[in-house]
């Protein structure tokens, strides 16, 4: 019997990407194999994000496309999970008739049961679930740490969740409401998982948490901290360990100590600043000032040579005046981030800022601030990349730059993209590369030494 086909579309953060690997692994046990296009699928899953309005809206337009597919393929099922499902629950079934079932942020392990329920209804002649009895599993508070059999997309890079949820309640952010309060996995479990990945030949693990520095805060043991966990992981024989995201209010000197040792922990810190204005930072409930943030950046750059500090910024927060925005511009000039995701403030129902302030910065003003920062940030990255010409860097090759182009691309330890002439069989291998030129997009170079034998 041919295997059933599963297509998963994921929106949102790395943690959501990883959850999709959990969905794929779980459903593989029930006979599903992944396909790349919804047209080929028997089951489509949308793993959704609610952090800004645009991705939320996209889900409903894409559900409309699946509805059209269903006209040709009536047995096709559509399940919606993740953060939008957690927040909207049965409203999704009401709003989009194409959706067959809904599962919450901590209800992935309920999917097989929901599928069986749907099958039973079909056998009994009910092709569509009645609106009064939706097929859904959405825990009121997502408080489960789910143990999933991850089916990883890459054979050399693995994501490992260390915490779920977030207890910070930054005023603009929906995440604590859709993912629940902070829940940390036990260190033993994480160490075991990373050791197994190392034994399977993985070259890089990325530790995931909305705020990795809060790891352990929910557990009753003062010795369970992110710094302790990181130190324990440095003893595992795996070439690269990354982590994301760091939080400026919680990163400790002990974490910087581990980073400063030049062990297998990579020199990259993604640490969202959000704003350079003390007033806006207070209104955002971020827990630090501009000066404290800059001190931290300077300390990191001093103690960890070559460290790449990247960030997230929100423009157009309701209380952000032109003067506040200028403070952000000033901070960006001083911090010289290696990369920045810049977002326009998007009011999210349920969050503190949504109720406290009207979305008062006009869209064209948000756009102007966004473009101004993007331009500045590009200039900084182009200048800093240029300084690296002539260096020799270690690159983990991730893929071909374009199929058949004769060029491959990969990342340095600090997460800089490098493109250079190479062979497809180098994917998943380390290559020493001399940087010969640079642009805002990254570094370009030539291979010096490859860790795989080059065919003669």
175 near ligand SF4, judged by CB under 6 A: yes
Write out the binding residues for ligand SAM, residues 39-98 only, by CB under 6 A.
51-52
Place of tokens 């902070």: 182
Among 16, 107, 163, 171, the residue binding ligand F3S under the rule CB under 6 A is: 16
Among 24, 50, 88, 173, the residue binding ligand SAM under the rule CB under 6 A is: 173
Binding part of the chain for ligand SAM, among 66-74, 172-180, 294-302, 428-436 by CB under 6 A, reads 172-180
How far CA 190 is from CA of 9, 206, 233, 302, 320, in Å, comes to: 27, 12, 9, 30, 40
Binding part of the chain for ligand F3S, among 11-19, 71-79, 139-147, 427-435 by CB under 6 A, reads 11-19
380 near ligand F3S, judged by CB under 6 A: no
- Judged by CB, which is closer to ligand SAM: 104, or 410? 104
Write out the binding residues for ligand F3S, residues 167-226 only, by CB under 6 A.
174-175, 178-179
Three-state DSSP class for residue 228: helix
Among 111, 166, 265, 332, the residue binding ligand SF4 under the rule CB under 6 A is: 166
171 near ligand SAM, judged by CB under 6 A: no
- Judged by CB, which is closer to ligand F3S: 175, or 255? 175
Residue whose C-alpha is closest to residue 205's, from 218, 222, 186, 192: 192
- Judged by CB, which is closer to ligand F3S: 59, or 99? 59
274 near ligand SAM, judged by CB under 6 A: yes
Write out the binding residues for ligand SF4, residues 191-210 only, by CB under 6 A.
210
183 near ligand SAM, judged by CB under 6 A: no
Q: Which long-range contacts (CB under 8 A, 24 or more apart) does 54-62 make?
A: 54/346, 55/11, 55/12, 56/84, 58/11, 59/11, 59/84, 60/95, 60/96, 62/9
- Judged by CB, which is closer to ligand SAM: 46, or 101? 46
Mind giving me the DSSP string for 104-125? -TT-GGGHHHHHHHHHHHHHTT
Tell me how far the alpha carbon of residue 67 is from its chain's centroid.
28
201: left (phi over 0), alpha (psi -120 to 50) or beta: left
Write b or e for each residue in 130-141: b if 16 or more Cβ atoms lie within 10 A of its Cβ, otherwise e: eeeebbbbbeee
205 near ligand SAM, judged by CB under 6 A: no
- The phi, psi pair for 115, rounded to 5°, reads -65, -40
Q: Which does 345 bind (CB under 5 to 8 A by kind): ligand F3S, ligand SF4, ligand SAM, none?
A: ligand SAM
211 near ligand SF4, judged by CB under 6 A: yes
Residue whose C-alpha is closest to residue 443's, from 427, 425, 419: 419
Residues in contact with ligand SAM by CB under 6 A are 13, 51-52, 172-173, 175, 210-211, 245, 247, 272, 274, 312, 314, 343, 345-346, 348
Residues in contact with ligand SF4 by CB under 6 A are 166, 168-170, 173, 175-176, 210-211, 247
């Amino acid at each position: 019997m041919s295997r059933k086909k599963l297509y998963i579309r994921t929106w949102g953060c790395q943690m959501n990407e990883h959850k999709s690997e959990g969905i794929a692994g779980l459903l593989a046990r029930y006979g599903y194999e992944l396909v790349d296009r919804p047209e080929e699928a028997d089951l489509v899953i949308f793993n959704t994000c609610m952090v800004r309005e645009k991705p939320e809206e996209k889900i409903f337009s894409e559900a409309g496309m699946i509805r059209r597919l269903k006209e040709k393929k009536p047995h096709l099922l559509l399940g919606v999970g993740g953060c939008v499902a957690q927040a909207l629950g049965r409203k999704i079934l009401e709003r989009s008739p194409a959706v067959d079932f809904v599962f919450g942020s901590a209800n992935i392990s309920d999917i097989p049961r929901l599928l069986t329920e749907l099958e039973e209804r079909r056998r009994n002649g009910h092709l569509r679930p009645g609106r009064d009895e939706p097929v859904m599993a959405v825990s009121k508070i997502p408080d489960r740490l789910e143990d999933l059999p991850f089916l990883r997309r890459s054979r050399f890079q693995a994501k490992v969740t260390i915490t779920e949820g977030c207890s910070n309640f930054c005023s603009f952010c929906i995440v604590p409401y859709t993912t629940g309060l902070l829940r940390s996995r036990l260190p033993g479990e994480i160490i075991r998982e990373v050791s197994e990945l190392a034994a399977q030949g993985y070259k890089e693990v990325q530790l995931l948490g909305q705020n990795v520095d809060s790891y352990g805060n929910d557990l009753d043991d003062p010795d369970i901290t992110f710094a302790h966990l990181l130190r324990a992981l440095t003893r595992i024989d795996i070439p690269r360990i990354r982590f994301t995201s760091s939080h400026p209010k919680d990163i400790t000197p002990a974490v910087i100590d581990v980073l400063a040792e030049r062990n297998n922990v990579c020199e990259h810190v993604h640490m969202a600043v959000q704003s350079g204005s003390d007033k806006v930072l207070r209104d955002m409930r971020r827990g630090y000032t501009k000066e404290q943030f800059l001190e931290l950046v300077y300390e990191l750059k001093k103690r960890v040579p070559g460290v790449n500090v990247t960030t997230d910024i929100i423009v157009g927060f309701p209380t952000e005046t032109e003067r506040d925005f200028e403070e952000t511009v000033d901070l960006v000039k001083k911090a010289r981030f290696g990369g920045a995701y810049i977002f326009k403030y998007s009011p999210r129902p349920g969050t503190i800022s949504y109720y406290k302030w009207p979305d008062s910065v006009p869209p064209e003003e948000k756009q102007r601030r966004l473009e101004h920062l993007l331009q500045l940030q590009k200039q900084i990255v182009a200048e800093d990349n240029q300084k690296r010409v002539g260096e020799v860097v270690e690159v983990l090759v991730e893929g071909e730059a374009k199929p058949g182009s004769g060029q491959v691309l990969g990342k340095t330890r600090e997460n800089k993209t490098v493109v250079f002439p190479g062979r497809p069989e180098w994917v998943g291998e380390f290559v020493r590369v001399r940087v010969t030129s640079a642009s805002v997009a990254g570094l370009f170079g030539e291979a010096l030494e490859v860790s795989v034998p080059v065919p003669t």
